[in-house]
Structure 1
Amino acid sequence: MPRSASTNQELREKSRERILAAALEVFAEKGYEAASITDVTARAGVSRGLLAYYFTSKQAIAAELLDRWLDGITAILTIQGPPDERLAGIIDGALMAASATLPIQRLAISLMMLPTTHPTFAKVEAEKSHRITEVEDTIRTIFEARGAQDPAIEEMLLRATLEGITVKLTIYPETFPVEEIRRRLYQTYDLPEPKEPLPVPSPPVDRLRAKP
């Protein structure tokens, strides 16, 4: 019995998602530059031809993963409430995302930094420019409502701080004290102390050291 169009579409989506998941695993393990299309097809359990049906190159796979990463950042646009609650939500959301999605964070950071792949990151960022501008303006509006003298600088400083935290967390996931850093950020912005800790691993404050 022939499959319906909806069944075929569902199977195609599952194959595409399997390829993306496999690519993310391989990129995280080997690094983007060292990983090959053969590595991805072997991990996904698909033929090279099927992968080529969805993605023209390794760069195209990375671009799709980056696209989703940027979509995750724009999720802060949905946070509602008074300015302090929205700012706390942005901080918590960024820390949660960094803790829960380390492989994609590592990929994004590596693609941003490497001269050979920075153009891929820049291209995806340009395609998402409108949404990123919305994120920037949302954060600036929050700081403006809180009485900041220069909301644009405050927005840049917050994002740079959170991105720096993400970098450290990807390098030192076993020793980075997420909860204590979170509470220090709350103090920096005169936010009420959080009532509950974030549901992510958070070792006590000691020293940042990578585990072999």
Structure 2
Amino acid sequence: MPRTLEQNKKIKEASKKRIMEAALKVFGEYGFDGASVSQIAREAGISTGLMYNYFASKDDLVLTIVDDFLEHHFGEWGKKISDAQTPYDKLVVAVDRYVIPLQEDVNKWRLIRELSVRKEFKDEFWNIVSPIRNVYAKQLESLYLQLGEDPVKGFWGLQTFLEGVASCYCSYGEKYPIQQIRNQYLKGYRQKLYE
């Protein structure tokens, strides 16, 4: 019995996901420049030619990974911050939506950081990031208004803090005291709001 369109779609999505996961592993091990399409295909358990049925190029693959990750990461984040009750709870969500995924999959963050500064990806990367960041910025600016702070400075202050945390964690891994840094940052706001 032939497969239905729905079954074919699920198989294609599963294969695409497997290729993306394999690519992350290979990029994590060899870097973007050091990784080849054939290494990625081999890691995914498919032929190189078959990989091109899913992605036009290594560049297409990496940008799809970034888009998928950021859409998932910040999409969930927006709902969670809206659901949080107090300004402090919203701030905790904002920090944790960055810190927890960073700890769970540092290779994705390393890849995103690498692409964000690469000349050949800059325009495409920012086309993916800008709409997401704009929504993120509006929610955080609203949060800082609730905290009684300048919203633009608050957003960029938090963004700078989180980028610094990401940079250090990507560089030092488990040696970096990420939870202590997180707790110290949030403690300052907790004291300001509740003491």
TM-score, L = length of structure 1: 0.83
Match of residue 123 from structure 1: 124
Correspondence 1:35 to 2:35 = yes
**One-letter identity of the residue aligned with 2:86:** P
> Residues 52-75 of structure 1, C-alpha deviation per residue, up to 9 Å, x if partnerless?
111111000110111123221343
> Counterparts in 2 of 1:1-212, with a 5 A limit?
1-71=1-71, 72-78=73-79, 79=81, 80=83, 81-115=85-119, 117-119=120-122, 122-148=123-149, 150-190=150-190
Mark the runs of 5 or more structure 2 residues left unpaired by the alignment: none
**One-letter identity of the residue aligned with 1:36:** S
Q: Give the paired residue count.
A: 188
Q: State the superposition RMSD in angstroms.
A: 1.6
**One-letter identity of the residue aligned with 2:133:** I
Structure (1/2) with the larger helix percentage: 2
8 Å Cα contact 1:74-1:132 kept in structure 2: no
**One-letter identity of the residue aligned with 1:113:** V
Please give the alpha-carbon distance, in whole angstroms, between the structure 1 residues aligned to 2:116 and 2:128. Answer: 15
SS at match of 1:54: coil
**Consecutive aligned runs of 4 or more in structure 1 exceeding 6 Å deviation:** none
Please give the alpha-carbon distance, in whole angstroms, between the structure 2 residues aligned to 1:127 and 1:92. Answer: 22
Mark the runs of 5 or more structure 1 residues left unpaired by the alignment: 193-212
8 Å Cα contact 1:24-1:104 kept in structure 2: yes
Q: C-alpha displacement at 1:191, in angstroms?
A: 5.3
Q: C-alpha displacement at 1:131, in angstroms?
A: 2.8
Identity of aligned residues (%): 26
Q: C-alpha displacement at 1:160, in angstroms?
A: 1.4
Q: C-alpha displacement at 1:132, in angstroms?
A: 1.9
SS at match of 2:32: coil
